[in-house]
């Protein structure tokens, strides 16, 4: 009886682990760039682009076009070990990694690498401050004069925020689908205030999700006092 109970528990645990693995692997959407460390002499690392995946079977990536594949022919072979690393954005922000092996390599018509599906993943939280969900109207721009943004600005919403940074969401207009990493200013609209709160920050990353562009933003140290006051106003704990 104990053996049967233990067996059922193990089956449930395996099912849960598979569910967790699939949840994270589903973040590897086509076009996402990953870090691929290939086993071999020294540290061989490349940045391939995800083409697609077959849940439970393999992950398909494209070899970087700017690299000479001949220089990697000794490590790009079936059966060679590899480690995949990628970033999952969200409330906490996590670095996900898993060990795998090369299942197959194609050179025609494209240089493609089939990686075996992981059986275990590891994840590490990146943020020291948990972000709280919100829906604050805001604009971002690279320039400002006095207490107003100038130049070309983008309007959207801050969908989560902490003392260190926030995630800004907007709908692409006119084919715009990227935001470059650069210093910016954020004008945050607050109910009951005549003027927006403008703070300086840096764009750290961006991704496309459900037709929206989500921009990861880190506040500058000079903005910490203003952001702390804002979080107090919103009754968000900064500890």
pLDDT beneath 50: ranges in the chain: 1, 3-14
pLDDT digits (tens, 9 = 90+) for 176-198: 666 788 999 999 988 777 889 99
* Residue 176: predicted pLDDT: 60
* Residue 217: predicted pLDDT: 92
Which residue ranges does the chain devote to CATH 2.40.10.220?
Answer: 132-233
155-209-45-91 Cα dihedral, nearest 10 degrees: 80
H or E stretch at 165: strand 165-171
pLDDT digits (tens, 9 = 90+) for 45-82: 899 999 999 989 999 999 998 888 888 888 999 999 99
* Residue 158: predicted pLDDT: 92
We find that the CATH architecture of domain 2-125 is Roll (2.30)
* Residue 90: predicted pLDDT: 60
Which residue ranges does the chain devote to CATH 2.30.110.10?
Answer: 2-125
We find that the CATH architecture of domain 132-233 is Beta Barrel (2.40)
* Residue 130: predicted pLDDT: 62
- CA count, 13 A, side-chain hemisphere, 107: 8
- Rounded to an integer, what distance in angstroms lies between the CA atom of residue 149 and that of residue 143? 6
- Rounded to an integer, what distance in angstroms lies between the CA atom of residue 126 and that of residue 205? 14
- Rounded to an integer, what distance in angstroms lies between the CA atom of residue 29 and that of residue 86? 11
* Residue 178: predicted pLDDT: 65
pTM: 0.53
- Rounded to an integer, what distance in angstroms lies between the CA atom of residue 137 and that of residue 187? 9
H or E stretch at 3: helix 2-25
Number of C-beta neighbours around residue 38 at 10 A:
19
Q: Got the DSSP string for 34-61?
A: -EEEEPSSS-EEE--EEEEEETTTEEEE
* Residue 106: predicted pLDDT: 92
Residue 25's alpha-carbon distances to 11, 78, 83, 133, 227, in angstroms, are 21, 22, 14, 24, 34
């Amino acid at each position: 009886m104990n053996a049967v109970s233990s067996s059922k528990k193990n089956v449930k645990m395996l099912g849960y682990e598979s569910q967790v693995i699939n949840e994270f692997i589903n973040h590897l959407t086509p076009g996402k760039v990953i870090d691929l460390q290939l086993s071999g002499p020294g540290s061989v690392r490349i940045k391939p682009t995800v083409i697609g995946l077959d849940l439970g079977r393999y992950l398909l990536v494209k070899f970087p076009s700017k690299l000479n594949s001949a220089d990697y022919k000794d490590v790009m072979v079936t059966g060679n070990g590899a480690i995949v690393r990628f970033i999952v954005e969200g409330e906490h922000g996590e670095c996900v990694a898993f060990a795998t092996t090369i299942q197959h390599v194609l050179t025609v018509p494209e240089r493609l690498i089939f990686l075996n599906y992981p059986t275990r993943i590891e994840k590490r939280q990146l943020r020291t401050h948990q972000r709280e969900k919100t829906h604050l109207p805001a604009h971002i721009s690279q320039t400002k004069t006095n207490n107003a943004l100038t130049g070309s600005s983008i309007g959207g919403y801050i969908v989560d925020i902490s003392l260190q940074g926030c995630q800004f969401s907007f709908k692409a207009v006119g084919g715009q689908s990227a935001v470059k990493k650069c210093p910016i200013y954020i004008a945050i609209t607050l109910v009951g205030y005549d003027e927006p709160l403008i703070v300086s920050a840096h764009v750290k990353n961006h991704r496309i999700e459900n037709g929206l562009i989500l921009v990861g933003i880190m506040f500058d140290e000079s903005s910490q006092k203003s952001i702390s006051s804002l979080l107090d106003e919103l009754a968000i704990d900064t500890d």
